[in-house]
Amino acid sequence: MRQSLTPWIGVALCAAFLSTPAVAQNTAAIKNYPDKPIRLVIPYPPGGATDVIGRIMAQELSKTLGQQMVPDNRAGDSGNIGADMVAKSPADGYTLLMGALTSHAINANLDKDRIKYNLEKDFTPVAVVGVVPLVFVVNPSVPVKNMKEFIAYAKANPGKLTFASSGAGAPQRLAMEMFRYQLGLDLLHVPYKGSGPAMTDLVGGQVLTMSETVPAALQFIQAGQLRALAVTTAKRISQLPDVPTVTEATGLPNFDVVSMFGIEAPAGTPKPIIDKLSNDIKMILQRPDVQERMLAAGVYVNYLSPADSSKRISRELSMWSKVIKDANIKAD
């Protein structure tokens, strides 16, 4: 019996000896992280909210990490091209995603048969960094002054009120779909390729209402070109303090829809790297100057730890799955 075990013991000792340098090398790589530039993939074109947030985070993290974090815009397919690229990157902390997490969660449900990555299985959350509120607005030609009047008008004119969106799977569309479904309203969706053309036609009266991000709608509200009826957040916001929440205005419970943004790493990225990045982000987001820069872009700082980010992403996926199924929403 002793002779039969000898070869196996030798193999085990040899394997342990051979693996030790690799383990030591990996441990050293984690301990010395980062020792080269980090790429932050932004899966949308320059100029949008994801890009602005990503560039602020990259600039500040470059300082705290002592290595350059380089923004890399990889736009296309509603953010899916850049996200898929990061999902398939090495899990070493040197390729990260600046995610528009609400949009990714919607796409995961709306285009689930086409998307090549899994938002939960292929990524490890680093941190949620902020949210952008939405606001329900109407063209002033619509004879309503508040949300109760809007609901009454929509019910009295089924199918006649058109609502714009910045895209078929955009949070702006899904917020309105969720709203109209819960209240039983018959509204006609008119999709656009981006917020810019949608807002142009809304201000011009070619479409009549919309749920839009506050940064995109604010100047038109302040100029009297659009009328704000309600914000989609759980509480009122500082940029529109006199505008009620949807829950306040309608009585719908727990109506809380925002466009959420956060940084993700490929699944399997070592926990010490995730924790280091997340702790640095938490520290950065506590600084008043960073909060001011974010708010100037319409972003309210809202740090969540890796564990809490994971829970929030799961909640987004579940919520939008139900909305899309119940309201029978299609990608087209």
Q: Domain with 281 in it: what CATH number?
A: 3.40.190.150
pLDDT at 9: 52
Up-side HSE of residue 202: CA atoms within 13 Å toward CB? 33
Same domain, 241 and 285: no
Same-domain status, 157 and 224: yes
Determine, yes or no, domain membership for 20. Answer: no
Q: Which residues of 203-226 are buried (b: 16+ CB within 10 A; e: fewer)?
A: beeebbbbbbbbbbbbebbeeebb
Identify whether the C-beta of residue 316 lies closer than 8 Å to the C-beta of residue 101. Answer: yes
Instruction: Say if residue 142 is in the same domain as residue 231.
Output: yes
Q: Which of 203, 219, 250 is the last residue of a domain?
A: 250
Encoding tokens for residue 294? 């974010």
Position 168 scores a pLDDT of 76
Q: At what angle do helices 271-285 and 288-296 cross, to 10 degrees?
A: 80
Cα angle 98-99-104, degrees, rounded to a multiple of 5: 160
Supply the pTM of this predicted model: 0.85
Backbone angles phi, psi at 94, to 5 degrees: -105, 0
The low-confidence residues of the chain, meaning pLDDT below 70, are 1-26, 28-29, 332
Cα separations in angstroms, 208 against 104, 173, 177, 188, 284: 27, 14, 15, 10, 40
Q: What is residue 144's three-state secondary structure?
A: coil
Position 311 scores a pLDDT of 97
Looking at residue 2, its pLDDT comes to 46
Are 140 and 246 members of one domain? yes
Does 24 reside within a domain?
A: no
Residues 99 and 144 in one domain: no
Residue 141, domain CATH: 3.40.190.10
- Domain residues for the domain of 104 are 37-131+259-326
CA 279 to CA 268: how far, in whole Å?
18
Helix ranges restricted to H, 97-245: 101-110, 147-156, 171-183, 195-204, 214-222
Last residue of a domain, one of 232, 250, 268: 250
Tokens of 61: 């993290």
Q: Tell whether omega for the bond before 43 is within 30 degrees of 0, i.e. cis.
A: no
Is there a contact between 38 and 273 (Cβ–Cβ < 8 Å)?
Answer: no
Domain membership of residue 14 (yes or no) is no
Residues, the chain, total? 332
Q: What per-residue confidence (pLDDT) applies to 330?
A: 80
Q: Which pair of structure tokens corresponds to residue 123? A: 């990524």
CA 264, CA 66: separation in Å to the nearest integer? 20
pLDDT at 1: 44
215 with 233, same domain: the answer is yes
- Could you tell me if 126 and 216 lie in one domain? no
Say what the pLDDT of residue 7 is: 52
pLDDT, position 187 = 95
The span from the first CA to the last CA of the chain, in angstroms, equals 69
Number of compact structural domains in the chain? 2
What is the pLDDT at residue 46?
86
Please give the pLDDT value at position 10.
Answer: 53
**123 and 139 both lie in a single domain:** no
